[in-house]
Amino acid sequence: PKEPSGSLSTDSIKIKKEVANAFMKRQKRSSLYERYFEYYKNPMEQMHERCENYPPCDYLSDQIGFSLAYNRFFG
């Protein structure tokens, strides 16, 4: 059913719950091990973020490498 403006009405877009469940699959829960690593970052990733958030370190890491830049400012 089209509206006078030429667009479809919202009733024609809706689908039944049973039909939606046929192609929308819910993700299974991950294991405890996977959930742990979603919440806690490893130390190297924390170091990268610390350097990226400090503009002089971020700029220098592009020039001479991450480890040297990080050690210069935070090491």
The domains of the chain are located at: 42-74
Q: What is the pLDDT of residue 48?
A: 93
User: Is pLDDT at 30 greater than 80 in this prediction?
Assistant: no
What are the tens digits of pLDDT across the range 53-74?
A: 999 999 999 999 999 999 999 9
Residue in the structure block whose two tokens are 């970052």? 41
DSSP string, 24-55: -PPPPPPPHHHHHHHHS--HHHHHHHHHHTSH
What are the tens digits of pLDDT across the range 6-27?
A: 566 666 677 777 776 666 666 6
Q: How confident is the model at residue 42 (pLDDT cuts 50, 70, 90)?
A: confident
User: Is pLDDT at 28 greater than 60 in this prediction?
Assistant: yes
